[in-house]
Chain A
Amino acid sequence: MRIPILKLYNCLLVSIQWELDDQTALQFQEDLLQKIHETNASGVVIDLTSIDFIDSFIAKVLGDVIDMSNLMGAKVVITGIQPAVAITLIELGIGLNNVLTAIDLEKGLEKLQQELGE
């Protein structure tokens, strides 16, 4: 299963709705970068509201895709991190520092527009 990536004006919207296996995560990484390239999107919001756990592998794939998107010129905001996910990530020793985050999709889009200076 591939994760759908939607275009909204100059942004891309991604809502991850199910538990990620390695293949899906890596496929998503490629798909997102390809979509940024195709659409010239300047921002991306990745919503994790439905995700109830993130291990070090998924965290690495996410962190990498954020860095890769930045390299291409697109800013990424992560939204909807659940309390259980925040707790386990920090206890695991993964801070996801320098990552833009917001409480929900709405605030995420606002933050993105601010970052893009629009």
Chain B
Amino acid sequence: MSIQSCVTIINEWDIVAARQLGRNVAKELGFGTVDQARITTAISELARNIYLYAGKGQICIDKLYEGGKPGVRINAIDNGPGISDIRQVMEDGYSTSGGLGAGLPGVKRLMDQFVIESNPEEGTQITATKWLR
């Protein structure tokens, strides 16, 4: 079962909208303040990546229930140029923007599950999930 809502990311205000949506969903599901901050920060980083590198995309937030355990899933989707070397962007300290926008390894550490798919034809899709402990 999942309930989804999405924010289209075109400008920097949409980044604020996406993380507010994420924070509200995390609160509703009963996440504590630390996990709320983790989820909000992860969304902010993923939304900023879309804004900086793809120009346009979507952040979708799902409420998940797996075996009675709630979780929140962030889907960051864009049709941008894609990432040519995924292994490289997953290395700490790698940046093409001089430190603006996220380290994806940081987002991975903030969340429980992290999946990235990317190619030049279709763009990038990142799925990151946090489960309520």
Q: How far is the CB of A92 from chain B (nearest CB, A)?
A: 4
Q: How far is the CA of A2 from the CA of B98 in the complex (A)?
A: 26
Known: A84-B33, A85-B37, A93-B106. A21 touches B12 (CB 8 A): yes
Known: A22-B15, A92-B109, A93-B92. A56 touches B37 (CB 8 A): no
Q: How far is the CB of B114 from chain A (nearest CB, A)?
A: 13
Chain B interface extent, by class: 20 to 34
- Identify the closest chain A residue to B38 (Cβ): A88
Chain B binding surface SS class: helix
Q: Does A55 contact B (CB under 8 A)?
A: yes
Q: How far is the CA of A118 from the CA of B48 in the complex (A)?
A: 43
Q: How far is the CA of A22 from the CA of B20 in the complex (A)?
A: 14
Interface string of A1-29 (1 = CB under 8 A from B): 00000000000000000010111000000
9 A-B pairs in the complex with CB atoms less than 8 angstroms apart: A52-B33, A53-B23, A56-B45, A56-B102, A84-B34, A88-B34, A92-B41, A92-B106, A92-B110
Chain B residues with CB under 8 Å of chain A are: 12-13, 15-16, 19-20, 23, 33-34, 36-38, 40-41, 44-45, 48, 92-93, 99-103, 105-107, 109-110
Chain A residues with CB under 8 Å of chain B are: 19, 21-23, 52-57, 60, 82-85, 87-88, 91-94
